Amino acid sequence: MAKDEPDDDTLPDKDAAKGFYAKYEPKEVLGRGISSVVRRCIDKETGKEYAAKIIDLGASEHNDSRQMLEATRQEINILRQVMGHPYIIELQDVFESDAFIFLVFELCRHGELFDYLTSVVTLSEKKTRYIMRQIFEGVDYIHARNIVHRDLKPENILLDDSLNVKITDFGFARHLNDGAKLYDLCGTPGYLAPETLKCNMFEDAPGYSKEVDMWACGVIMFTLLVGCPPFWHRKQMIMLRNIMEGKYSFMSPEWSDISEDPKDLIRKCLVVDPEKRINVREALKHPFFNTVMRRQSQFNAKKKFQFAILTVRAMIRIQRLRYTPEPLDIEEALRDPYRVKVLRKVIDACAFRVYGHWVKKGEGQNRAALFENQPKVELHNLYIHQLQK
Ligand code: ADP
Ligand code: MG
């Protein structure tokens, strides 16, 4: 749609803000950025819900409003190039005014993948496969259009009503011709690729390209599986040094239950040399996404052994149940002590001690009487009567 539009360099229409408020009714805040607020809004005519990113052109201390305007126009331009894919956010409407720009997006009711992960702590391999496949498919679509996102992270991956991925925030995205390189430092520290950091450190750094998104995907995937990121350190300098050296590990105990395929894919994303890093097409062909059937039937000695131990433990518990006395309710014991197995044994033993001499050999009848467990009606009533007094 906008790809063919001429680059409009005139100042925005002053009445555009009015246009937004005439069409949409803004509601509660869904999220915030450095100079933007995202609110749920309702189309007054259709009643359909959207998310409006309201960018305050005068809010940033570092950029003047002209720069902000240019940056937002670039974001809009890229959004229009990547739209139309199920895993990429859909831009619905744009309104520009002197002070504000309104970007109206499809609404992602389930919010950020970041918050989802926080609520569930970690994702299973199966869930990680589901989410990562969608992220890679979205990235494939973006890269195929020669665009690099540069800020992939769980905060910029939204989840729609069916918990499907929507890649968003193309604020740092750039169009790159074949072989072209970028040099500026932008993104989020924990997700920065080594080659991006090198641009900031060395004059003669070769620059970076689309591979930085694959590095970020590796960081995301690691984080989804175990809940913590691969390159975190209290001191940011140490974290950055670890990134430069590609120093991370699968040593924490959480990794012991995770199979080899996802680890292998993460290893291939977190390769320091961007030329040797896996690209998005290769990632989608990785066994992690393609050998579900084989993996299910694969023999895993450790898992089998753990399962056997659990089964034996369960059997022992069931067997022991026979010897575990049932909980004794004092009311019940008072009302009908003979019904309780342990008490019955005690009563029988006492009864035999007292009346055993009555039991005559060869006379089964009075032996049975000693096991009589229904109180005689008159005696029972008398007993209850006395208790109530
Ligand atoms: P910024 O460039 O300022 O980071 P984002 O586009 O990432 O702005 O939006 C900021 C936050 O607003 C997101 O992280 C998310 O929580 C929320 N948000 C953005 N777009 C949507 C949407 N379409 N549906 C629901 N929430 C959204
Ligand atoms: Mg963001």
Q: Is the pLDDT of residue 384 over 80?
A: no
- Ligand 1 pocket: which of 36, 53, 92, 116 to mutate (most atoms within 8 A of CB): 53
Ligand 2 midpoint to CA 191 (Å):
13
Residue bearing tokens 């009567």:
385
Contact indicator for 41, 92 with CB cutoff of 8 Å: no
At residue 379, the pLDDT reads 66
Q: Taking 90 as the threshold, does the pLDDT of residue 73 lie above it?
A: yes
Q: What is the dihedral of CA 113, 114, 118, 124, to 10 degrees?
A: 50
Q: Ligand 1 center to residue 235 CA distance, Å?
A: 28
Q: How far apart are CA 87 and CA 166, in angstroms?
A: 4
Nearest CA to ligand 1 atom 11: 31
pLDDT for 328:
75
- pLDDT of 72 reads 93
- Describe the crossing of helices 211-226 and 194-201 by its angle, rounded to 10 degrees: 120
Calculate what percentage of the chain has a pLDDT beyond 70. Answer: 85
Q: Tell me how far apart the alpha carbons of residues 274 and 269 are, in angstroms, rounded to a whole number.
A: 9
- Which pLDDT value is given to residue 330? 83
pLDDT at 243: 97
Distance, CA of 307 to CA of 82 (rounded, Å): 47
Residue 360: per-residue pLDDT: 59
- Note the pLDDT of residue 333: 82
Specify the ligand 1 atom closest to the Cα of 108: 24
User: Which strand (E) or helix (H) includes residue 49?
Assistant: strand 49-56
- Residue 331: its pLDDT value, please? 84
Q: What's the rounded Cα separation, in Å, for the pair 118 and 97?
A: 37
pLDDT higher for 18 or 150? 150
Q: How much is the average pLDDT of 251-276?
A: 95
Nearest to 170 by CA among 12, 30, 62, 33: 33
* Distance in angstroms (rounded) separating the CA atoms of residues 29 and 334: 63
Q: Residue 11 has what pLDDT?
A: 40
CA distance 222 to 32: 26
What is the per-residue pLDDT across 331-380, written as a single tens digit (0 to 9) for each?
Answer: 888 888 877 777 877 887 787 777 777 665 555 455 656 666 566 666 66
Residue 369: predicted pLDDT = 62
Active site members: 151
Single-letter amino acid code for the residue at 314: A
**8 A C-beta contact, residue 71 and residue 63:** yes
Single-letter amino acid code for the residue at 69:
L
Give the ligand 1 atom nearest the CA of 55.
3
Q: Which ligand has the minimum distance to the alpha carbon of residue 169?
A: 1
Strand ranges in 225-304 using DSSP code E only, listed in sequence order: none
Q: What is the pLDDT of residues 120-172, one digit of tens each?
A: 999 999 999 999 999 999 999 999 999 999 999 999 999 999 999 999 999 99
**Burial readout 88-110 (b: 16 or more C-beta within 10 A, e: otherwise):** bbbbbbbbbbeebbbbbbbbbeb
Q: What is the model's pTM? A: 0.74
Residue of 109, 169, 172 with the most ligand 1 atoms within 8 Å of its CB, for mutation? 169
Q: Give the Å distances, CA to CA, from 42 to 25, 105, 240.
A: 5, 11, 43
SS3 for 56-88, per residue? ECCCCCCCCHHHHHHHHHHHHHHHHHHCCCCCE
CB-CB contact of 232 with 190 (8 Å): yes
pLDDT digits (tens, 9 = 90+) for 268-317: 999 999 999 999 999 999 999 986 555 556 778 888 899 999 999 999 98
* Predicted local confidence at residue 264, as pLDDT: 98
Q: From the alpha carbon of 31, which atom of ligand 1 is closest? A: 12
pLDDT at 60 over 70: no
Q: Which ligand is nearest to the CA of 152?
A: 2
Name all domains of the chain by residue range, CATH numbers in brackets: 18-106 (3.30.200.20), 113-289 (1.10.510.10), 330-388 (no CATH)
pLDDT mean over 221-239: 93
Average pLDDT, the chain: 87
Is the pLDDT reported for residue 23 higher than 50? Answer: yes
CA atoms within 13 A on the CB side of 134: 21
DSSP H or E stretch at residue 91: strand 91-96
